[in-house]
Structure 1
Amino acid sequence: MSSLLELVRAGRTAEVVGLLDGLTDAERRGLVAELKELRKELRKEPWNSQARRAYPALHAAGAACQTGAAGAASWLAAADMRWSGASPAVLLHVLGDREADWLADVAHRLARRPATAWVPYELMAGLVRLAGCAAPTTDAYVRGWAEHVHGSWQCGGTLLDRLRKDPHLVPLVGALFETDDIGGRLGWPDHDGPDSWTGALAGLTAEGVLDRRTTVDACVARLLRGGPAVDLRLFLRLLKALELSRDEERERIADWLALAADAASPVAAHAQSVLAALALDGELAPGRLAEMSGAVLFRSEKKLVRAQLVLLGKVLARNADAAGELLPAVAEAFGHEDSDVQERALKLVERHLRKADSQELRARLGSDAEQLIPALRARAARTLGADPMPAAATVYAEVLPPVPEPVRLAPAPRTAVEVAEEVGAVLASGDDVAAFERVLDGLVRHAHDDWAALAEALEPVVSRQWWGGGDPAFAHRTDDYFSLSHLGFFFPSHGLDLLLATVRGRVRTSTLRQAVTRETGRRACVHGALAGAFEARLWEVAYRLATKPLPLLLSTPTWSTGLLEPDELVDRLDTYRRLGAEVAAADFAQALLRVRRSDRTAASAAAERASALGTPEGARLARWLTAPEAVPPTHGRVTAGSRILVEYGDVPELLYVVEEFPADFQPLARPVDDLKRSRGCPHWDAAIYAHWLTLLPERRELVAARLLGDLSDLAVNDDRGTAAILPALAESGGEAGDALRLGLAYGLGARHPEDRLASVDALLVLAARGQLDAAGLGGDLGELVRRGAVKPLRLAESARTAASTGAHGTVWGMLRHTLPVLLAELATGGGPAPARGLGELLAVAAECAERSGARGELPHLAGAAERRGSSRLVSQARRLRSALAEEVAA
């Protein structure tokens, strides 16, 4: 019907609805095909003014003309009309004359769609009301209902009042307990009054509107199921608001035991408090209390563990007959990592052993006591009347990870199709340097051999890029994007985008020529030298793709670390000679920086072969391979606030060839003296750092110095992610000097656990390679903690993680130089309050000393150990002092 379509196009929704009211079902069905064609037409440009004007009317017309429930639901929830559709009131009007069963079917189909489909709750609820059917209990409907009820404050009354009037209250409330991630929607306001969900649900339960047993069971079951913290907080608040009676608590002892053992900390604490009250009133059998203790004492939360020991002490004091069952449970704490917990447990055993003294019990407790620290182990032997426990039968052996072996890069992909597949994989991940270098070489080789085949194979990959659409206007936009003078490759994928766009013909040759001939120094930030060299090679490759494709890349590394074997580079230069190909300057400069010179014998032999090539590049390579060994540049430390940074002077080994390098490579030989990132620094993403490291695979200190400011942000500014480069720095080559050591120190004090874990990995790799200066690192850590750049508690977590791998000797070798700096001001008792976490650091040091058999004096430790009180710091200082004394058994 042409008049209806004209009204829809004009967006005259009211007239469309009026016209539809007068049509028969057969006439409506006949309009569906035309409405679908109009929808297809508008979908091409959904945001233009015509589409936005027509969509509400089209939405209503299509819903009214659908005669099947499935088709109607699909039309109503269509994504293309989601933001410009008809209002729920209009849709309910055009659907209101359908049969109840049909309306119910549509309502439930809409409710089964995911919440992300954004089907309006008002529409679903209106269909339920018209159909007179049961309310759906799906995720989308329940979420919509909860938001609608809580947000209907304009209707007056409290949330409790509005819920009390809801005809579908019981099934929908029951569904709340089964809905994931609902806590964020129901947790505000965070009190238990009648206008909060917890207060309203508790009130409805007290009134009898909701069955109490069902509500309590559902709440406990939800806590047992676990989930996001925001959900658990909500349902725990509700459980507390329900104020369970003693009978209700007693009926659920098995649930409380399960929650105390495995639930999140706040939930476990509540379960523990319930069980504690039952135990102290004699309503929890000693066997069940022992079962509970075995689980809770195994948990890592010290607050829960200490509360459990306090509970056991109270029960033992009241019920002497329970000692036989409860003392073995107390001994579960002998294996706890915290020595203070171990001592608390031992005191309980000492105090109550006489209440159930037997040879069998002593033997069992003696077996558990082998887990105690040495000083407590000797004390337990005296308590139990056993012979002093012998020293360990085996000599301590440090456990370090295997030395990481570099991985040889596989050859470049053999076919253009394989190149395209691997390019797609690299664009999706972007972090694998070896994969990036392989596809880079593959692109170059196949562009040289068969440009057309490569372009065809890359088409599916290119079409998914933002610039790869069919619109010709994108050709200019892509060229403009890459021609910006300040543009840098913030991500590795940007470099691949440049090459793909070049193959596709989206970047002008003049743009590429301008990029490779521009003057250097366009960036002032500390990363400029690394970024400039990395980008110059890619710009040059793109330019040669467009003008004179290279047969292969000279600089593709042999190993995953970025190193290039000298014989392999000679072979590639020989290929260039045979083909008469022109060497690319940046590619060759990168190859020289990557070629392995540390094996002087192999370098000398390759130099002879290079000289025999009779080419200028062969002669340059020969001179480079036989040049004197690298002399570390002069360097010094500088301070910036709480930070310690490193400045480097000129790099002697690069200076004498710097004039032969392209302009963008010359800054690599210059001083590192600007360690403060400028405001215009674009290098905020750490994914590019691993690629920069492979620029100088035998000179990691030069890279570390330029990244040191970013690494310090991990500890000082609580940044995230930069520490991912530390394991790669540890596996790279060259001196492990001040810059790497300070970077590692900042990483060990990082805010985020994943950064601390990466730093521990780097620490262990350096130790396994014999390149860790533990004394220097320990001293640096002490100074950084003293200056406030590194927090002791974070450092203690890192040290404990490293020690738990078996590297107790390594960690002690580091901490024995950190602690004297921190304890110095405590020695006389007149210094400032100790830094938070120093006691934890002493605890890790004590454990490492005990495990590794360390002996000797530690400066200023005695002063800390002789302080008054029993604080964590004092108790652990005393423990460390005992461990270092010769007379204490290992």
Structure 2
Amino acid sequence: MDHWGEIEKLIVACQADRLAERVKGLDEQARKDVAARLPELLKELRARFDRWDDGLVAHGSALRVAGAGTLGGAAAVASWLYRRDFAPQWDGPDSDVHLVLGVLADRPAAWRADLAERLVLRMRVPDDRGMALALALLRETGIEPPPHDPLVAGWVSGEPRSSLSADPLLDHLLPRLFEAQGVGRVLQWEKASGKGWLRALLAAAESGRVKREALIDGCVRRFLLGGTAIDLRFFVRLHEALDPAPAEAAARARDYLRLLPASPGPVAELAVKRLRACGELTADDLAEAWESLLFRPERKLVRAGMSWLDRSVRRAPELAGLVAAPLAGAFAADSAELQEKAVELAVAHAGRMTEEGRATVREAIELLPPHLGLRAATAFAGGSVAEGEPAFVPPPLPAAPERAVAFPPPIESIEELTTEADRSWKTWERLLAGFVTLAGRDRAGLAAELRPRLIGGPYWIYREESWERVEQWLEGAMRALTATAAAQRAWLRYMPKTRRAAPLLLLLHRAAEILRAVEEDTLPPLLLATPTHSTGHVAAAELVRRLEVIEAAGAKPLAADLQQALLRLPRTPDPEAVRRAARLTSGAGRIVAGWTCPEVTVELEWRCGDEGEGHDWHDRSHDHDVRLVPSATAAPTGLPLVDLMLSVPEHSGDAEHRAWWPSTLPSHREVAAAYLMPCVFRRFWGEDTVGPEQARALARAEGPVGTAFAVVLARVLGDPRMPESVDVLLESAARDELPAEEVGRQAGLLLASGELRMIDMIAALEAAARRGAHAHVWRIAATALPILLPAPGERPRNGLADFVALAAAAAGWSGARGEIPEVRAMAARRGGSGLLREIRRLHDLLTGDDGQEG
């Protein structure tokens, strides 16, 4: 009889249910025949479909049933059932488990047990294909499952059976429930009110099918194994639903104590709850618990520890000798409220402490802010304030580093000229200067050496609509020099046609005019604008010397190069250089001789969306398109690029070479800062914003500082990825060039806009204050506070209490006095929040109080 023909038709027709009935009726030899032909049929079916077509998947159930019912060995069946080509991982759970179980039913028990074990060990994640079949075979065979974490997670990934107590797997897998990785994440959303595993386990414990003690012990054992809060969430809920009695908690007290120092917050909270209820802890156990809790980072747990400590000592005063170490540790808490509470408790129990405990507290006083340190020192130094004053005294400002160092010389070799260089402005200036100098010495020789290096190189730059990057222009200049260019008059053809930021246009014009001079053979022997100092400045004497060289060679300086050189002259005139320039016969010499640094007025406007001046954008995040719109005015010089640079047109948001812009205006740093305003706000995830390198360049440049510089500095101070921004603040302060009030105002506005986080700004300002800029930090904080304090009925910003605490510390270190109206008004409000306590303390400090609260 031709069994194969009928089997093949059923597989091709995808009739898995009829196929299962047919396979059951096959004798042993017929099964072997079918098994031998299955691989060839699979090959034929696979050839009918594209590799990405799911047509073969449609035949999967039929193929699985045929293989399960005819293949001989358990290993062969396990491999066949989950072949990727007809049962891919993303096809969802198996829908044919009952059919596969049916054709396996007449297999020997030992064979099916072997298959079950093999399927279990193939599992990698709880929802792996084959999980349902593996669990069903385990239940049918009754064997003990092999130890495999994904199996346990898979067991609980679906709803439990209507009667969990009758599940044959319960006794085998329940102990592993508290050890297997992945179970907690599968069950993280379980609640006792639902119909899931939490309720099922509680019902099994209530019926006596599962021992209640085993579940409690399992939860505690799982807590001790560790894990994240998500991993342990289910076990926390199960533990609390079981609600261990005080006697049960006392039996596990040592385990609960071990959970206090480092377990996730919810686990530590339940441990505190059980320990406080058991009432049978020794003095050493209490000391261990308090010390663990008061060192925790979570404020809720620290408060719980302090409350426990205080009540225990009030009930049993002899325990006061244990509180010194925990309270001294709490002096380092990151919350002024917690520090204040720790000092309050230490002072309250000081009279019952041992001398050793009092010494422990005295050693920790330096961790406190001044006003709290003074209170603690008074209580723990026998009333001698001078002896107990806080140890921290802000140091003086560190000396500012040199404003500038000598600029490195131009490159001098072909190798350097053609080596892929970094994208810094200093490297590019050296490359341009080196190219012009080498070409001036020996144009033909340079072209001969460059040509072999350029032939076959990238011509893609000539397919661009415009050249936005300076390296494209340098590439074009070298190709023009070596007669390998793919286009003529490239200097005109590839200049961007649409608006660009003025600093970028100046860079591109300088590069384009070098390309033009190469094409027209009018290249001067050297450039004028190559810096002499690391700030970008060009010394006046050196500029005149370069003009003399160009004039002696009978050449003319390049126009954009001359205008950039003028913008790089120091603000302080050099009379001797002026006299030398006046003796030159060229027009460039006369321009330099008559040059005076223009005075520029820079203004900055905050706008929300397209709305104009006066729009109330406060309390809006930058998702509402808060923008900084700069403008500048200066007397015209008659030099087009100079006038363009000093006018700061509104469109200045180009990204290319933005980090180079401070070097183009080293004597007008406020103007340079204004050009950086479009990159203060982060519009998209991962978008670059101003960084500390630009802030440092502005700090070392010359010229007045104002709102734009303050915005840049405030922005980088509030970025946790830029800790070096504190050095920029200190450097500006050391030169007496820090506009502290304006930095404070802009920091307040940036915090109010949602661009910066309070916690990050506090960290930077505190670091600056502790390194000597405490007076400057006070002025910054005092100016920011009126912007940040909430109006009556308005919810305070996160972290504002800590900002006020920092302001108070800086005021104390600086000896600041003088009432702030907004602080006075808020201090008069009713309430006892941490923010109000800090505001009142600051107000008392500024109005002449000694800083101690009544």
Q: Structure 1 residues 582, 177: closer, same or farther in 2, change over 3 A? A: farther
Contact 2:741 / 2:783 at 8 angstroms: preserved in 1?
no
1:636 to 1:862, Cα distance in 2 relative to 1, 3 A:
closer
Distance 1:214 1:608 in 2: 95
Q: Structure 1: how far apart are the matches of 2:107 and 2:555?
A: 88
Q: CA deviation at 1:251?
A: 1.6
Find the counterpart in structure 1 of residue 721 from structure 2.
758
Q: Contact 2:290 / 2:305 at 8 angstroms: preserved in 1?
A: yes
Cα deviation, residue 628, structure 1:
5.8
Residue matched to 1:856 = 817
Higher helix share: 1
- Alignment of structure 1 residues 562-577 onto 2, 5 Å: none
In structure 1, the partner of 2:165 is 164
Q: Which residue of 2 aligns with 1:244?
A: 244
Q: Alignment identity in percent?
A: 25
Matches within 5 A, 1:768-787: 768=731, 773-783=739-749
Q: Secondary structure at the match of 2:695?
A: helix
1:70-469 counterparts in 2 under 5 A? 70-81=75-86, 82=88, 83=90, 87-89=95-97, 90-93=99-102, 98-111=107-120, 112-115=122-125, 118-129=128-139, 131-136=141-146, 138-147=148-157, 149-150=158-159, 159=160, 161-188=162-189, 191-193=191-193, 195-278=195-278, 281=279, 283-354=280-351, 356=352, 359-384=355-380, 385-390=382-387, 396-397=394-395
Q: Is 1:48 aligned to 2:48, yes or no? A: no
Question: What is the deviation of 1:218?
Answer: 1.8
Contact 1:350 1:383 (C-alpha < 8 Å) held by counterparts: yes
Secondary structure at 2:144 match in 1: coil
Aligned to 1:600: 539
Q: Deviations over 1:127-162 (max 9, x none)?
A: 434554334553433333223x31xxxxxxxx5734
Instruction: Give the distance between the partners of 1:229 and 1:671, measured in 2 at CA.
Output: 52
CA 1:317–1:723 in structure 2 vs 1: closer, same or farther (change >3 Å)?
farther
Q: Which residue of 1 aligns with 2:807?
A: 845
Provide the C-alpha distance between the structure 2 equivalents of 1:539 and 1:533, rounded to a whole number of angstroms: 10
Structure 1 contact 139–179 (Cα < 8 Å) conserved: yes
1:819 aligns with 2:788: no
Q: Give 5+ residue unaligned stretches, structure 2.
A: 432-446, 492-502, 570-596, 609-616, 619-625
- Cα distance in 2 for partners of 1:61, 1:840 equals 70
Change (3 A) 1:760 1:646: farther
TM-score (norm 1): 0.65
Aligned residues of 1:96 and 1:130 also touching (Cα < 8 A):
no
Quote the offset at 1:843 in angstroms: 0.8
Describe the shift of the 1:768–1:361 C-alpha distance in structure 2 as closer, same or farther (beyond 3 A).
same
Q: Within 1, Cα distance between the matches of 2:32 and 2:474? A: 65
Judge conservation of contact 1:77–1:117 (CA < 8 Å) in 2. Answer: no
Deviates more, 1:64-73 or 1:207-216: 64-73
Mapped contact 1:637–1:647 kept (Cα < 8 A): yes
Residue 262 of structure 1: SS of its match in structure 2? coil
Offset at 1:453? 10
Q: Distance in 1 between matches of 2:321 and 2:536?
A: 71
Structure 2 CA distance for partners of 1:616 and 1:169, relative to 1, 3 Å: farther
TM-superposed CA distance for 1:113, in Å, is: 3.4
Please tell me whether the aligned partners of residues 46 and 52 of structure 1 are also in contact (alpha carbons under 8 angstroms). no
Q: Is the 8 A contact 1:297 1:305 kept in 2?
A: yes
Paired AA for residue 301 in structure 1? E
1:161 counterpart SS class:
coil
Equivalent position amino acid for 1:742 in 2 = V
User: What amino acid does structure 2 have at the position aligned with 1:77?
Assistant: Y
User: How many matched pairs?
Assistant: 736
Paired amino acid for 2:237: R
1:738-763 alpha-carbon deviations (Å, 9 max, x no partner): 446436646767xxxxxx41255535
Unaligned runs of 5+ in 1: 151-158, 424-431, 455-498, 503-508, 519-531, 555-562, 660-665, 678-687, 750-755
Q: 1:207 to 1:804 in 2, by over 3 A?
A: farther
| Counterpart contact for 2:717–2:761, Cα < 8 Å | yes
Q: Tell me, in whole angstroms, the C-alpha distance in 2 between the residues paired with 1:320 and 1:332.
A: 21
For the residues of structure 2 that align with 1:779 and 1:627, how far apart are their CA atoms?
A: 30
Equivalence for 1:663: none
Q: Residues 126 and 352 from structure 1, CA distance in 2 versus in 1: closer, same or farther, beyond 3 angstroms?
A: closer
Q: Give the secondary structure class of the aligned counterpart of 1:118.
A: coil
CA deviations 1:793-824 (Å, max 9, x no partner) are: x4255313542576465466245344356459
State the shift of 1:171 in Å. 3.0
**1:839·1:872 contact (CA, 8 Å) conserved in 2?**
yes
**Gap change, CA 1:349 and 1:571, over 3 Å in 2:** closer
> Is the CA contact (8 Å cut-off) linking 2:331 and 2:343 kept in structure 1?
yes
User: Aligned to 1:396, what secondary structure does the other structure show?
Assistant: coil
Matched letter for residue 197 of structure 2: W
Matching residue of 2:630: 647
Counterpart CA distance in 2 for 1:74 and 1:652 is 84
Asked if 2 retains the 8 angstrom alpha-carbon contact of 1:646 and 1:739, the reply is no
Q: Which residue of 2 aligns with 1:835?
A: 796
Contact in 2 for aligned 1:253/1:275 (Cα 8 Å): yes
TM-fit CA distance, 1:271 = 1.6
Indicate conservation of the 8 Å contact 1:636/1:648, yes or no: yes
Task: Give SS of 1:757's match.
Answer: coil
Partner letter of residue 758 of structure 1? R
Describe the shift of the 1:597–1:106 C-alpha distance in structure 2 as closer, same or farther (beyond 3 A).
Answer: same
Q: Distance in 2 between matches of 1:31 and 1:847?
A: 85
Cα shift at 1:219: 0.9
Counterpart contact for 1:534–1:695, Cα < 8 Å: no
Indicate how the Cα distance of structure 1 residues 845 and 324 shifts in structure 2: closer, same or farther if over 3 A, else same: same
Deviation at 1:126, TM superposition (A): 3.5
Question: What SS is found at the alignment partner of 1:646?
Answer: strand
Q: Decide which moves more: 689-698 or 229-238.
A: 689-698
Find 1:730's aligned residue among 679, 687, 695.
Answer: 695
Aligned partner of 1:107: which letter?
Answer: A
Which amino acid in the other structure matches residue 347 of structure 1?
Answer: E
Give, as a single letter, the amino acid of the residue that structure 2 aligns with 1:313. Answer: D
CA contact (8 A) 2:125 2:150 kept: yes
| Greater Rg by CA | 2
**SS of the residue 2:465 aligns to:** helix
Q: Which amino acid aligns with 2:817?
A: G
SS of alignment partner, residue 637 of structure 1:
strand
Q: CA shift at 1:343, angstroms?
A: 3.5
Secondary structure at the residue paired with 1:842?
helix
Distance 1:327 1:52, change over 3 A: closer
* Distance change in 2, residues 1:119/1:634 (3 Å): same
Contact 2:740 2:776 in 1 (8 A): yes
Residue type at the aligned position of 1:397: P
Paired AA for residue 516 in structure 1: E
Aligned to 1:460: none
**Does the 8 Å contact 2:679/2:690 carry over to 1?**
no
d(CA) in 2 for partners of 1:633, 1:533? 30
- Residue 799 (str. 1) matches residue 762 (str. 2): yes
CA offsets, 1:666-694, max 9 Å, x none? 9999955369x9xxxxxxxxxx9686545
1:753 corresponds in structure 2 to none
Q: Is the 8 A contact 2:567 2:664 kept in 1?
A: no
Tell me what 2:711 maps to: 742
Matching residue of 2:498:
none
CA distance in 2, matches of 1:110, 1:615: 86
Two-structure CA RMSD over aligned residues (Å):
6.0
* Structure-2-length-normalised TM-score: 0.68
2:838 to 870, 876, 879: 876
Partner-residue secondary structure (3-state), 1:856:
coil
Deviation at 1:241, TM superposition (A): 0.4
Question: Which residue of the partner structure matches residue 494 of structure 2?
Answer: none
Structure 1 pair 162/740, CA: closer, same or farther in 2 (3 Å)?
farther
Deviation per residue, 1:76-121 (Å, 9 max, x gap) = 3344431569853354455555544444344333334322883242
SS in 2 for 1:195: coil
